[in-house]
Amino acid sequence: MCGVPVVAVGDMMSHTYAKTDLISEYYLRKLSRTELQELQDLLSVDEEARAEFVRVGRDEWLLHHMHHAEGRQIIHITSRRSRRRNIQAIAAISAVCATLGVLLFSKSATISEMMASRPTAPVIAKITDYFAVEGEAISVVNNGDVRKLNSASAIRTGDRIIIPPGCQLSFRYLEEQTGIRLGGNSLVHVLDVEGAKRIRLDRGHLSAQVARQKEGRPMRVVTRDAEVVVLGTSFEVVAGEEGTRLSVISGKVQFNSLDRPGKRIVRAGHFADTSIEQDASLPFREVRIGPSLVQTLNFTRNKFMVVDPERNAEGFLIFDIGEVKGTLLEAALRLHVTAWQKEYGGRGDLRLYRVDPDQQGGGKRVPIAHFSGGVGKGKDLVMDLDVSLLTAGRNAFLLMMDVGGNDFWFSAGDTEQAPVLELKISDQR
């Protein structure tokens, strides 16, 4: 869809949209002095805005204390705003927060009862792919209601979705071909405001294939420090503590850094990153490298790479990237999960180390990636790697598992689902 025009945010933002933005983003990022003043003025005169502020605050609290009814276990989610972004509440917001506290903690219903309540927000999308490992669930908070998703669930406007590590979720908007895929360990908020799609990606990995949107109502994806505005394209957004990176696969996208003025138009085959000082987008290319060696140490199973602490089985892989030229932007190790006999898959804490390729796991071990969770048979486990620890030439990795989990069996190097090192390369950075 190359050549699709991009609409500036200010050209299409209605009063309702701006109001929703201010309230939602107060809990996500540090607002400017001007924005805080606008929010104070809004809350002082708009009863609907005050009610929305209370609803959003309640859902934020529930996200931080998600309750699993089966085990009565509280899962504490990392604070949405980092310490450096904590701000002093202004008088009007403090008053509303006090109201929020009264409403929240005087609520007679328990969180378990909230989970049993029926959602009422309008349906905006249907789930097309759902995967959750045994013992995990993809949970949603919306206007005080807590529910768990399954393959037959609907996505509703206002849903705040928590996707645990190892799980994944895809959904498609009603009456169009816009599809969203969310990776494990993601936290998102999905909204439909006057027909305009809005996704807030607090953390995690989002891929989108966006059909042409209505004039004046582009889709927007917002992270802690960036905003993506699009009418029709395919792209990926990765949000983390270091910043936000946008990679455009087709079409073109408007990319706005919230920490500095100016807008960037990012075209197909280019990326933009809030951690890079320059404002221009840069081209990238994707490279997939197969392993030169895959084997299991201390345990022999043909066609499998086994990671099992009880058997002292460890995975050992070597990839040669000596022929790859350019600046390495991203790197990920993709492993295909299979199973021995009737096993479901694997579950536990996996740790990936960079090691000396000539010592088969011996010598110094440098941590390069970590995964905690489960992955079912037939699914891929993707571990994002610290690119600063990769070097030109041979790179050897040792994959180990903490005691207490269920062993992982991966396809080995002589199969169609062999391990792959996926790289994004820039020639101009």
| Tally of domains in the chain | 2
Instruction: Please tell me the least confidently modeled range out of 30-34, 233-237, 345-349.
Output: 30-34
Residues 269 and 400 in one domain: no
Most confident residue range from 63-67, 139-143, 158-162: 158-162
Q: Report percent pLDDT > 90 for the chain.
A: 31
Range 18-32 average pLDDT: 64
Residues 109 and 164 in one domain: yes
Q: Domain range for residue 80?
A: 9-283
Most confident residue range from 103-107, 374-378, 422-426: 422-426
pLDDT band per the 50, 70, 90 thresholds, residue 297: very high
Residues 274 and 393 in one domain: no
Statement: residue 59 has pLDDT above 80: no
Statement: residue 428 has pLDDT above 90: no
**Higher pLDDT among residues 258 and 393, named by residue:** 393
Statement: residue 271 has pLDDT above 50: yes
Show which of 235, 251, 283 is a domain's final residue.
283
Residues 201 and 305 in one domain: no
pLDDT in tens, 161-195: 988 877 889 999 998 999 999 988 898 999 998 88
Residues 206 and 290 in one domain: no
Range 19-42 average pLDDT: 71
Residues 215 and 100 in one domain: yes
Residues 311 and 275 in one domain: no
pLDDT in tens, 191-212: 998 889 999 998 899 999 999 9
Instruction: Supply the pLDDT for residue 415.
Output: 72
pLDDT band per the 50, 70, 90 thresholds, residue 288: very high
Residues 378 and 301 in one domain: yes
How many angstroms separate the most distant Cα atoms in the chain?
71
Range 325-340 average pLDDT: 87
Instruction: Supply the pLDDT for residue 32.
Output: 74
Residues 195 and 299 in one domain: no
Instruction: Supply the pLDDT for residue 400.
Output: 94
Show which of 283, 305, 320 is a domain's final residue.
283
Statement: residue 107 has pLDDT above 50: no
Residues 215 and 104 in one domain: yes
Show which of 254, 283, 312 is a domain's final residue.
283
Statement: residue 2 has pLDDT above 80: no
